[in-house]
Amino acid sequence: MSRAKICGTGSCLPAGRVTNQDLTKWVDTSDEWITTRTGIKTRHVAVKGEETSRLAADAARQALKMTGMQAEDLNIIIVATITPDMTMPSCACLVQQELGALNAFAFDVNAACSGFVYGLDVAEKYINSNPCLNILVIGAETLSGRTNWKDRNTCVLFGDGAGACILTGEESGRGIVASKLYSDGRLFNLLKMAGAPSMNAELARDDHDGSYIKMAGRDVFKYAVRCMEKAVAAVLTNAAVDIEEIKLLIPHQANIRILKSLADHLGIDYEKIYINLQKYGNTSAASIPIALDEANREGRLVKNDLLLLCCFGGGFTWGAMVLRW
Ligand code: ACO
């Protein structure tokens, strides 16, 4: 049976970094508070020329280089993002133009921090129907542009970056084994980022109060742990895999305490969780593919090892995926 296998990865972080110490100049906070509550030490912040599509294209170039493919070999480009350069065209179309991937069709996926896993799931369905396809899936964000740098409740959490991978069909049993995705729109108000207000006064929402990220931190925390735990249990059942067989868990990198709590609930060895949020903060849809690329380049992903991804984000959206590397 053919499976959708990741054959190349890449990532790109903007050059500029903001430390916890830097943040103390703008808001009433401290390195100690941020470190103990979140685990985050620094985050990368983009400047002109490092728009979401540019970061995404750079990550894609690295993934292409790893596979030896040319941009023209790509059939589909999927970009998971909540911070595209423009509302229209999609970020994926801008990436297509940057790469010169003229044989592909391109579109964005918006599932907030779960977007990359949603994108992988969509790619898998295409590959199931045609294993010859080469599909580029990217998670890319510039959340710095949607962060209220005067709000200490949120500005310490987020960062910019992009990660990419290329999937194609493979007969060996390696690739995506199972995935389970969820959403619950009833909870949309607990984590949200409004766009520009409608210019049609009839349609303008009465609750529009700026386009920054807003969240109910404690509620998000509780749902994130509970939902990811359930998604992991369900996907392991579907894949007929025990948690002990998982060699590495690459979760969405939101907060160290969420990950510790998740590890306790799942009964998974903490050492088996890949964590890089101390360097990048929460990069939303980019967090899993950046971690995946780092783990890959560090040699942490061994051929045929079972790998688990899990995610949670605005919507709420959440899910989990098992892959044989
Ligand atoms: N520095 C210093 N003090 C702060 C800061 C800060 N940066 N931010 C908030 N505080 C204060 C609050 O004002 C509050 O003060 P008060 O008691 O005088 O009112 C106090 O710290 C405690 O605030 P809480 O919100 O209760 O702190 P909590 O321990 O819940 O930690 C946090 C807050 C880190 C946001 C936590 O709720 C959390 O991690 N939630 C998950 C949110 C998350 O990760 N969101 C990312 C998007 S969703 C996702 O990607 C999964």
**Ligand 1: which residue has its CA nearest to atom 2?**
29
- Name the CA dihedral angle for 250, 225, 321, 58, rounded to a multiple of 10 degrees: -50
Q: How confident is the model over 208-213, as a mean pLDDT? A: 85
- Mean pLDDT rounded to a whole number for the chain: 96
Q: What is the pLDDT of residue 207?
A: 79
Ligand 1 centre to CA of 282 (Å) is 14
Ligand 1 centre to CA of 154 (Å) is 8
Q: Label residue 195 by pLDDT band (50, 70, 90).
A: confident
Q: How confident is the model over 294-315, as a mean pLDDT? A: 98
> Could you tell me if the CB of 35 is within 6 A of ligand 1?
no
Whether the pLDDT of residue 199 is over 90: the answer is no
**Tell me: the pLDDT tens digits for 110-120?**
999 999 999 99
Q: What is the pLDDT of residue 33?
A: 98
> Could you tell me if the CB of 282 is within 6 A of ligand 1?
yes
Whether the pLDDT of residue 321 is over 80: the answer is yes
Whether the pLDDT of residue 206 is over 90: the answer is no
Per-domain boundaries in the chain: 3-172, 176-198+205-324
In the set 110, 134, 252, 311, the catalytic residue is 252
Is 113 a residue of the active site? Answer: yes
Q: What is the pLDDT of residue 67?
A: 98
In the set 91, 113, 165, 227, the catalytic residue is 113
Ligand 1 centre to CA of 23 (Å) is 15
Q: Label residue 216 by pLDDT band (50, 70, 90).
A: very high
**Ligand 1: which residue has its CA nearest to atom 36?**
217
Whether the pLDDT of residue 157 is over 80: the answer is yes
> Could you tell me if the CB of 97 is within 6 A of ligand 1?
no
**Ligand 1: which residue has its CA nearest to atom 8?**
153
Whether the pLDDT of residue 208 is over 90: the answer is no
Q: Label residue 198 by pLDDT band (50, 70, 90).
A: confident
> Could you tell me if the CB of 152 is within 6 A of ligand 1?
yes
CATH architecture entry for 3-172:
3-Layer(aba) Sandwich (3.40)
**Ligand 1: which residue has its CA nearest to atom 38?**
217
Q: What is the pLDDT of residue 203?
A: 87
CATH architecture entry for 176-198+205-324:
3-Layer(aba) Sandwich (3.40)
**Tell me: the pLDDT tens digits for 47-93?**
999 999 999 999 999 999 999 999 999 999 999 999 999 999 999 99
Same fold, 3-172 and 176-198+205-324: yes
**Ligand 1: which residue has its CA nearest to atom 1?**
29
Q: Label residue 153 by pLDDT band (50, 70, 90).
A: very high
Whether the pLDDT of residue 1 is over 80: the answer is no
Q: What is the pLDDT of residue 135?
A: 98
- What are 192's strand-pairing partners? 214
Q: What is the pLDDT of residue 239?
A: 98
Is 282 a residue of the active site? Answer: yes
Q: How confident is the model over 154-170, as a mean pLDDT? A: 97
pTM of the model: 0.97
Report the DSSP pairing between strands 306-313 and 317-324: antiparallel
Whether the pLDDT of residue 15 is over 90: the answer is yes
Ligand 1 centre to CA of 184 (Å) is 23
Q: What is the pLDDT of residue 213?
A: 94
